[in-house]
Amino acid sequence: MHLAYPAVLAALLFCVGLYGVLARRNAILVLMSVELMLNAVNLNLVAFDVWLRDTLHSGQALTLFTIAIAAAEIGIGLAIVLAVYRNRGTSDIDRLRDTAETDEAEKLPDTAETDPADADADADADGTEPTPGRADGKTGKTKKAEATT
């Protein structure tokens, strides 16, 4: 068998995987494309091991390590994708990046609308006052410093 056949097949597999990583938006399809690329590398390792007639079969041994790493990668990758899908409701890579930026902006309290004069008016009779920037008078209260003279 010629070395060109598996080498060309591995190059085609790698190119299809590279296209999938660069063009796809779904995280699961990106993981599948990475697996195609790893399988192309495995095919090259075995083909060159057979072509060189290595007595230690180092190409095949390295292929076994690559398969084990690929299995661990796909297991962890799918677990992350499923967790993100449960939290966000989508596995679209571009939408995940966009929602991460907008979620942080929605969670921050809007301190521009609170008036510092209102914070002084909400001071309780027990000597506490609300933390500046908070509209509610109940959370974040601090004790007033009593001057001892």
* Residue range 26-45, pLDDT digits in tens: 999 999 999 999 999 999 99
**Percent above pLDDT 70 for the chain:** 65
Distance in angstroms (rounded) separating the CA atoms of residues 13 and 21: 12
Distance between start and end Cα atoms, the chain? 98
* Distance from the Cα of residue 24 to its chain's centroid: 16
Distance in angstroms (rounded) separating the CA atoms of residues 65 and 12: 23
> 27 by DSSP, 3-state: which?
helix
* Residue range 46-56, pLDDT digits in tens: 999 999 998 89
Distance in angstroms (rounded) separating the CA atoms of residues 1 and 50: 10
Distances (CA, A) of 54 to 15, 47, 50, 51: 28, 11, 7, 8
DSSP per residue, 86-143 = HHHS--BHHHHHHHHHHHHHHHS---SS--HHHHHHT--TTSEEPPTT-S-SSSS-EE
Query: What pLDDT does 141 receive?
Result: 47
Distance in angstroms (rounded) separating the CA atoms of residues 25 and 15: 17
pLDDT band at 116; cut points 50, 70, 90: low
Asked whether 132 and 116 are in contact (CB, 8 A), the reply is yes
In the chain, the amino acid numbered 80 is: I
